[in-house]
Amino acid sequence: MSNQESTQTVHETAETSERPESIQTPRAPAIEAHDLSVTYGSETALESVDIQIPDRQITAIIGPSGCGKSTFLRCINRMNDRIDAAAVSGALSFKGRNIYDEHVDPVALRRRIGMVFQHPNPFPKSIYDNVAYGLRIQGITSEIDARVKLALERAALYEEVSDSLEKSALDLSGGQQQRLCIARAIAVDPDVLLMDEPASALDPIATAKIEDLIAELSEEYTVVIVTHNMQQAARISDRTAVFLTGGELVEYDDTETIFENPEHDRVEDYITGKFG
């Protein structure tokens, strides 16, 4: 299924100086939030967030623990629907449509917006079956072998596992498992990849591979990454959003501006380690 066809299904049912070309060429927003708030019972997790996330760029979400970063990420593919105490207000649109519209199917939405979690979570299946899982769930039966191979190649993993596709995914290293999870996410050809601390459990070598992979994937996908690692945000992202205590989006700008000349003192204090 092509991106265009799949996006239609949802609509019907649902930088640093190293990358100056991205900063200099603004793209249309893939995701837009307006006055987005989330509460868990009496606790406010996000407070009136307004943001436009550009298509096919890397947007980093940074801030101290408990500031709403992961809550915002989970809003984008409606994973907060699974939390009984969560209440969402305001608007959040994907490709121009409010994803919280009553006619939007969350399952169809998640086919367009894939997610990779903090800890690798491969299924207790073979490497091949992990990547093919989403395709089979969607009823895709043609060219599965080719699509599995392509996803593994895009995730920079195929050369390492090409001779062991029938072996258990649980036998892979942590970094390989995370790249496998990325391959599983992109096999169904989404538009957006959400990543929640995807390298926090990995060693520096595996982290570098994941960062290189993210940069490559942004040529085809909109990437939104939550990270506690500000150096990582500075290295790989085109734009950076800074959330601070109380679920407030304090500043959002080109990554270079955020790290070298932030507008708000609170953001400068956080980045320089004066608090957080």
pLDDT in tens, 48-67: 999 999 999 999 999 999 99
User: Would you say 91 and 3 are in contact if contact means Cβ atoms under 8 Å apart?
Assistant: no
**Over residues 209-217, mean pLDDT:** 92
Residue 82's closest CA among 103, 114, 110, 120? 110
Domains plus CATH for the chain? Answer: 3-122+189-271 (3.40.50.300)
Query: Which pLDDT belongs to residue 275?
Result: 63
* Mean pLDDT, rounded, of the chain: 89
Task: State phi, psi for 11 to the nearest 5 degrees.
Answer: -65, -35
Query: Which pLDDT belongs to residue 120?
Result: 93
pTM across the whole model: 0.86
Q: Residues with Cβ < 8 Å from 180, sequence gap 6 or more?
A: 120, 122, 127, 130, 131, 152, 155, 157, 161, 169, 172
Could you read off the pLDDT of 231-258 as tens digits, one per residue? 999 999 999 999 998 899 999 999 999 9
Q: Taking the mean position of all CA atoms in its chain, how far away is CA 203?
A: 20
* CA 40 – CA 215 distance, rounded (Å): 34
Query: Which pLDDT belongs to residue 16?
Result: 39
DSSP secondary structure of 213-239: HHHHHTTTSEEEEE-S-HHHHHHH-SE
Give 27's pLDDT tier (boundaries 50, 70, 90).
low
**Over residues 81-89, mean pLDDT:** 91
Judged against a pLDDT cut of 60, whether residue 276 lies above it is answered with no
**Over residues 141-147, mean pLDDT:** 91
**Over residues 134-158, mean pLDDT:** 92
Query: Which pLDDT belongs to residue 187?
Result: 94
Percent of residues, the chain, with pLDDT higher than 90? 75
Judged against a pLDDT cut of 70, whether residue 20 lies above it is answered with no
Query: Which pLDDT belongs to residue 141?
Result: 82
Query: Which pLDDT belongs to residue 201?
Result: 83
Number of residues that this document lists for the chain: 276
Query: Which pLDDT belongs to residue 125?
Result: 97
**Over residues 132-158, mean pLDDT:** 92
**Over residues 122-139, mean pLDDT:** 94
Query: Which pLDDT belongs to residue 247?
Result: 93
Judged against a pLDDT cut of 60, whether residue 80 lies above it is answered with yes
Percent of residues, the chain, with pLDDT higher than 70? 89
Query: Which pLDDT belongs to residue 139?
Result: 86
